[in-house]
Amino acid sequence: MTKLVLSEGHVSPNSPLSVQLIKNHHPEARPIVMITWPRHITECSPAKLGNVIATATRILGNASTELARRKIVPKQP
């Protein structure tokens, strides 16, 4: 099994977010994308909510871009 980090970062100082591509080396296995969200509540002030949302969106968008760049887009079933 191979794990490739597509994107990662923190939506707040104590809230990491990671997106990985998991490839099983079995010939019939399809790759999967694993999104690891914070394991706890992310707190922020109302003034910082937009920044938290923008950061999460950037991390997820970077993962999508990296997946497309590597041309690892699995066929739909």
Write out residues in the chain with pLDDT < 50, as ranges: none
- What gap in Å lies between CA 77 and CA 49, rounded to an integer? 37
Tell me the per-residue pLDDT of 18-31, one tens digit each, with 9 for 90 and over.
999 998 888 788 88
Query: What is the predicted pLDDT for the residue at 4?
Result: 92
First to last CA, the chain: 21
What are the residue boundaries of the structural domains of the chain, listed by start?
Answer: 2-69
Query: What is the predicted pLDDT for the residue at 9?
Result: 95
